[in-house]
Structure 1
Amino acid sequence: MADMKTAPAAAIAAAPSPTGTAGAAPSGGRGRIRRHWRLYAAISPFYLLFLCFGLVPAGFSLFLAFQRWDGLGDMEYAGLSQFRYLLADTQFWDAVVNTLEIWAMGTLPMLFIALVSAVMLNSAVRFKGVYRFAYFVPSVTSVVAVAVIFGSIFSTSFGLMNAVLRTVGIGEVAWLNEPWGIKVAVAALMTWQWTGYNAIIFLAGLQTIPTELYEAARVDGAGPVRTFFSVTMPMMRPVILFTVVVSTITGLQSFSESQVLLGRNDGMSTFAGGPEHAGQTVVLYFFQQTFDNNDFGYGAAIAWAIFMMVVVFSLINWRLVNRRERARRPS
């Protein structure tokens, strides 16, 4: 009887393992690569393209930030002088302030409108697909084409905005000739462009909220507003965090909006961003220094400053949202 009980165990011990001989340890990394080389080959194009067009250029730009180079002659080592000049460059800091103001004027209303639109789309009964398509169209439309249209809308003499203002008895506004009007026009363009994209993301998050939570809120007597702030907002916090971080990155890297709305055809980079450089963002300033002034070393330093700024503001947003989430959790 004992032999019959021990026989299966002995047979299992003697059986060869899936990775080779009986009792042998799994092979190392080279063995896994040989066994799964087809899978690695299938995903390799992405990594090769990222290496060629992402990692290598990023590494070269970091190297270039410590050099003086006009793009044609020999490079001259500059050390940290490019970054020291950057810290004292008032035009760069003016561009940072412009970028933050345009980001606040465009991103915050955009996220609010996108969230309200997503709630309305989620509660719609008929033509849901049509509404979602209509909201997403601005995200796939060329920024340059849209900027040209917005340039006509905010035109001083024949713009739609001034036509509306004249209709209600308000005088014309030189939108693209006044510093605050420039920021309003650029922020409006960014709001129109990204509202639909974030609305679709919010809609996907809303559809993951269990309906039992809304039913329980209605049983407790909560109205639509109380339900929105007590159920929808807490459950949507991870999605809101994602949209805030992505919108922050997008807003701090804005370029095409100001370039097309306020660009000049005379090649004079000193007028980039409109009067008083009110629409000059940090990326537009980077483009001006690099490709207009042919100062590739200083342009690389600006690019890495933009990268650090994006990282810092993304971490701030992450910390703020997570802190509020931890404060709401029961101890």
Structure 2
Amino acid sequence: MTVRPTQPAPVAAPTPPDPAPPERADRPGPGAPRTRWRRRLTRLDEKGAPYAYVSPFFLLFGVVGLFPLLYTAWVSLHDWNLIGGQGDFTGLENYRDVLAQPYFWNALRNTVSIFLLSSVPQVVLALLIAAALDSKLRARTFWRMGVLVPYVLAPVAVALVFSDLFGDRFGLFNHVLGTLGVPEIRWHQDTLPSHLAIATMVNFRWTGYNALIFLAAMQAIPRDYYDAALVDGASRLRTLWSITIPQLRPTVIFVVVTSTIGGLQIFDEPRMFDQYGLGGPDKQWQTLTIYLYQLGWTQKNFGRAAAVAWMLFLIIVVFALVNFLLTQRISSKEGKR
């Protein structure tokens, strides 16, 4: 009988430890809250940083621009004077009283007349001066700085000097015109001559400033356009009309809009044109801002003065909308071409 050797009992392999149960989503680890807050702060920084960068402008505009505008509207709806302060609520009565005054319409006509006589020649002269400064002149830096000198001068000083130059009897302009056989012009008596004199002051002060704006825009025009035009035999006037002005369309629009706003708010030049500052003996050059000033500080009627200020604001908005519509129409025609 054969005895078989006994086999050793198989040893069971050690069972691996059970894997740790996965962490639940609602059971973050010890560092998860800090990571989550960092992500939230990062998203908040990405979304809020652009608004924080531009917020100083809007805060400043709200304090010095929007709040005075709204407060002026509130004053225009009340019987408000300098001594008694806020009175009874009058609604649109101040606006009706102002529109019924012939001085308001006279001031509006004078304002529009001076604005047209100053803004239109101003833009044309600024374009021509900028084109001349963009050419190959000697001492170009000197001439470019020189055109800005009138803008640096104080408006009161410019008005005082030009009021003497446009003197009725002993003014330089009448003396020069007299040598040419032109009869004496009453700059401080007649309506149109006074408007021309005041518009000359405005043009003297602002033409150089606008010329530098046009010059900066001209520097950005590629010179290849001019080289190709010169090869084709185009003259300087032709290149100005066919190349420069079309390329300056956005800049021209900007200058026209700013000139419109400034021209309708003109105050210093007509105020200092004579020693009384009332817009002439017969209100020949009284503008809306001078009329507003007289209502507020001479007649002590802040309610009507605020009404005039708001109507002037609406007039400026209307002119700006007209400029915008004309610009859109011109741009659409150019796009079709």
Counterpart mapping for 1:143-154 below 5 A: 143-154=155-166
Residues 189 and 284 of structure 2 are in contact (CA less than 8 Å); yes or no, is this contact kept in structure 1? no
Q: What displacement does 1:322 show?
A: 2.6
Give the partner amino acid of 2:265.
Answer: Q
Residues 255 and 283 of structure 1 are in contact (CA less than 8 Å); yes or no, is this contact kept in structure 2? yes
1:263/1:313 CA distance change after superposition, 3 Å: farther
Which of 244, 251, 256 lines up with 2:268 in the alignment?
256
Give the partner amino acid of 2:279.
Answer: G
Which is higher, the Rg of structure 1 or of structure 2? 2
Give the partner amino acid of 1:259.
Answer: R
* Match of residue 89 from structure 1: 101
SS in 1 for 2:168: coil
Instruction: Give distance in 2, aligned partners of 1:198 and 1:26.
Output: 46
Matched, 1:328 2:307: no
| CA root-mean-square deviation | 2.7
* Match of residue 122 from structure 1: 134
Q: How many residues align?
A: 305
Matched, 1:292 2:298: yes
* Match of residue 77 from structure 2: 66
1:46/1:173 CA distance change after superposition, 3 Å: same
Matched, 1:275 2:281: yes
Instruction: Give distance in 2, aligned partners of 1:239 and 1:264.
Output: 39
Bigger fraction of residues in helix: 1
* Match of residue 151 from structure 2: 139
Q: What displacement does 1:253 show?
A: 0.2
Instruction: Give distance in 2, aligned partners of 1:148 and 1:94.
Output: 24
Give the partner amino acid of 1:121.
Answer: L
Give the partner amino acid of 2:291.
Answer: Y
TM-score under structure 1 length normalisation: 0.84
* Match of residue 211 from structure 1: 223
Which of 307, 311, 321 lines up with 2:317 in the alignment?
311
SS in 1 for 2:225: helix
Matched, 1:192 2:204: yes
Give the partner amino acid of 2:154.
Answer: S
Matched, 1:237 2:237: no
* Match of residue 308 from structure 2: 302
Residues 147 and 189 of structure 1 are in contact (CA less than 8 Å); yes or no, is this contact kept in structure 2? yes
* Match of residue 57 from structure 1: 68
Residues 135 and 196 of structure 1 are in contact (CA less than 8 Å); yes or no, is this contact kept in structure 2? yes
Matched, 1:201 2:213: yes
SS in 2 for 1:21: helix
Q: What displacement does 1:324 show?
A: 1.3
1:20/1:235 CA distance change after superposition, 3 Å: farther
Counterpart mapping for 1:6-25 below 5 A: 20-21=35-36
